[in-house]
């Protein structure tokens, strides 16, 4: 008998009718003789609605209390799925994250799973029940409810699959799998039959929203094969796996883009040890995430330093940056919030020279100006004007022949 861990996202459980569709799939797996653990997200936009509701109370709300509030979304879906399964004659039981033994650290709103005590889950599986678990939540060392960051139910599912040594981990969503680019932008974007952990991690961090980046990280760490597939059809999905298990290595597997980017530059930063540390420590202390950093060549013992942050954090970052300018004696700052990041990702890049040159060539051909560049072994990212992002994604997709990939 095989054990399946399945996860159904918010759009798959958005209504009672959609839940019925989900339950039919679960019953089918069960009827085929498998044990099934189900992880669910909150229904549709419930999490956003709850956050909006909290926002109407005021600003600077306590994350502990917010976690208490938004974790209720997943509890609703877990209970409704269990009720619906039982109504269909399939024994089922819902559990909150803490009932399921999910232990996290104490970082409210972005907690990390530390361990899972699976005794209760195993005991319920043993009695033949489908166990339905509220995703996205756990319990802190203090005994408080935590949440795992937006999209965190994916991580709940992958962590459970690892702990329970599941035979399969399936993430059901509203698209067929991982695509070579966002199909809303590139009409001939292709679904990948497989993608490596490293590539998925980059794609997910770079704005491809099919999987929470931390879920890809977990899958890689514990070597869990994850299948991302559509809950509304029976099309085969994308398998996220070890590079060694993939049939073909591609030089470039996908083009990702992210509009949530703002660029900040500091001028005439004194060229002294410790200055970068002051800049980035001050930002980190305020919880502002920095992505790319570029320091230009020194002149007159002064450097310009540019970096990117998430544009939705810009209003919070701006006073902090002004404070930094004063503190380090820079001559000033500039910013641009209407920029975006376009990236190409591919495990085969590391052994193929000229990929970066091809990327810059494709952008140049479309007259697209590059503001910043950063690279890793399997990724190249460029910051460009937001208005040019669609043209850039399409041009890169074509340049690397991604319309022919499988
Ligand atoms: N409901 C949470 C969110 O909207 C978690 C999830 O869907 O995975 O981010
Ligand atoms: Mg989600």
Per-residue pLDDT reduced to its tens digit, 163-194: 999 999 999 999 999 999 999 999 999 999 99
User: Which pLDDT score, from 0 to 100, does residue 42 have?
Assistant: 98
The pLDDT value recorded for residue 247 is: 63
The pLDDT value given to residue 83: 98
* Distance, CA of 212 to CA of 170 (rounded, Å): 14
Which atom of ligand 1 is nearest to 10's Cα? 7
97 touches ligand 1 (CB under 6 Å): no
Give the residues across from 172 on adjacent strands: 8, 229
Higher pLDDT, 19 or 405: 19
Report the residue among 46, 66, 74 best suited for mutation to probe ligand 1: largest number of ligand atoms under 8 A from its CB.
74
**What is the pairing mode between strands 3-8 and 35-40?**
parallel
For ligand 1, what atom is nearest to the CA of residue 153? 8
Residue labelled with tokens 């203090």: 142
Per-residue pLDDT tens over the stretch 89-119: 999 999 999 999 999 999 999 999 999 999 9
Q: Which residue has the tokens 């992880």?
A: 39
* pLDDT number for residue 208: 74
How far does residue 47's CA lie from ligand 1's centre (Å)? 6
From the CB of 10, is ligand 1 less than 6 Å away?
yes
- Rounded Cα–Cα distance for residues 315 and 264 (Å): 12
End-to-end CA separation in angstroms for the chain: 32
Shortest-distance Cα residue to atom 9 of ligand 1? 150
**Residue nearest (by alpha carbon) to ligand 1 atom 8:** 151
Q: How far is CA 15 from CA 9, 18, 87, 223, 296, in A?
A: 12, 5, 16, 34, 53
Question: Which residue stretches of 88-167 are H helix?
Answer: 119-126, 153-163
CB 317 within 8 A of CB 309: yes
What's the mean per-residue pLDDT of the chain? 95
Task: Please state, in angstroms and rounded to a whole number, the distance separating the CA atoms of residues 175 and 228.
Answer: 9
Query: How close is the Cα of 29 to the center of ligand 1, in Å?
Result: 24
Question: What is residue 245's predicted lDDT score, i.e. its pLDDT?
Answer: 73
| Cα 105 to Cα 18, 109, 139, 150, 252, distances in angstroms | 33, 11, 8, 16, 36
Strands 302-309 and 254-270: antiparallel
Neighbours of 384 (CB within 10 A): 22
Residue to probe by mutation, ligand 1, list 12, 40, 41, most atoms within 8 Å of CB: 41
The 3-state DSSP class for residue 235 equals coil
Question: Which atom of ligand 1 is nearest to 42's Cα?
Answer: 1
Ligand 1 atom having least distance to the Cα of 149: 9
Around 45, how many Cα atoms within 13 Å sit in the side-chain half-sphere?
A: 5
Is the pLDDT score of 40 beyond 90? yes
- Domains observed in the chain: 3-174 (3.40.1160.10), 255-404 (3.30.2130.10)
Determine phi and psi for 394, rounding to 5 degrees: -65, -45
- The preferred substitution site among 13, 76, 151, 157 for testing ligand 1, maximizing ligand atoms within 8 Å of CB, is 151
Distance (angstroms) between ligand 2 centre and the Cα of 244 equals 28
CA separation for the pair 200, 198 (Å, rounded): 5
CA neighbor of 344 nearest in space, from 198, 142, 225, 202? 202
Q: Provide the whole-model pTM.
A: 0.88
> What is the pLDDT at residue 402?
96
CA of 74, closest atom in ligand 1: 1
Give the CA dihedral 234, 240, 243, 245, nearest 10 degrees: -50
Residue-level pLDDT at 300: 86
Question: Contact, 369 vs 384, CB < 8 A?
Answer: yes
Pairing of strands 194-196, 226-230: unpaired
From the CB of 73, is ligand 1 less than 6 Å away?
Answer: yes
Q: What pLDDT sits at residue 51?
A: 96
Distance 155 CA to ligand 2 centre (A): 10
């Amino acid at each position: 008998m095989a054990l399946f861990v399945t996860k159904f996202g918010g759009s798959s459980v958005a209504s009672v009718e959609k839940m019925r569709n989900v339950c039919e799939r679960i019953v089918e797996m069960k009827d085929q003789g498998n044990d099934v653990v189900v992880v669910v997200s909150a229904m549709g936009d419930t999490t956003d609605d709850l956050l909006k509701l909290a926002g109407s109370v005021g600003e600077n709300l306590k994350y502990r209390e917010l976690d208490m509030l938004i974790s209720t979304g997943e509890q609703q879906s877990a209970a409704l799925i269990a009720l619906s399964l039982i109504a269909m004659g399939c024994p089922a039981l819902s559990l909150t994250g803490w009932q399921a033994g999910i232990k996290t650290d104490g970082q409210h709103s972005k907690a990390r799973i530390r361990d899972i005590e699976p005794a209760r889950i195993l005991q319920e599986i043993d009695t033949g029940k489908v166990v339905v678990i509220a995703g996205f939540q756990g319990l802190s060392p203090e005994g408080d409810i935590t949440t795992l960051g937006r999209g965190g139910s994916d991580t709940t599912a992958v962590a459970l699959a690892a702990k329970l040594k599941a035979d399969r981990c399936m993430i059901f969503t509203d698209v067929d799998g991982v695509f070579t680019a966002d199909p809303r932008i590139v009409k001939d974007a292709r679904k990948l039959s497989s993608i490596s952990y490293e590539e998925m991690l980059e794609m997910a961090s770079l704005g491809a929203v099919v999987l929470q980046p931390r879920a890809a990280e977990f899958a890689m760490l514990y070597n869990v094969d994850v299948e991302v597939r559509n809950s509304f059809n029976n099309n085969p999905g994308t398998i996220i796996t070890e590079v060694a298990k993939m049939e073909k290595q591609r030089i470039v597997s996908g083009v990702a883009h992210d509009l949530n980017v703002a660029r900040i530059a500091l001028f005439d930063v004194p060229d002294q040890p410790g200055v970068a540390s002051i800049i980035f420590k001050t930002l980190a202390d305020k919880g502002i995430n920095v992505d790319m950093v570029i320091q230009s060549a020194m002149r007159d013992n002064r450097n310009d330093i540019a970096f990117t942050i998430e544009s939705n954090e810009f209003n919070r970052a701006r006073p902090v940056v002004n404070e930094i300018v004063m503190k380090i004696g820079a001559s000033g700052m500039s910013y641009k919030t209407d920029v975006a990041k376009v990236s190409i990702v591919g495990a085969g890049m590391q052994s193929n020279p000229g990929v970066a040159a091809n990327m810059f060539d494709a952008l140049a051909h479309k007259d697209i100006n590059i503001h910043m560049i950063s690279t890793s072994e399997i990724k190249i990212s460029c910051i460009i004007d937001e208005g040019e992002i669609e043209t850039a994604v399409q041009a890169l997709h074509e340049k690397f022949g991604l319309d022919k990939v499988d």
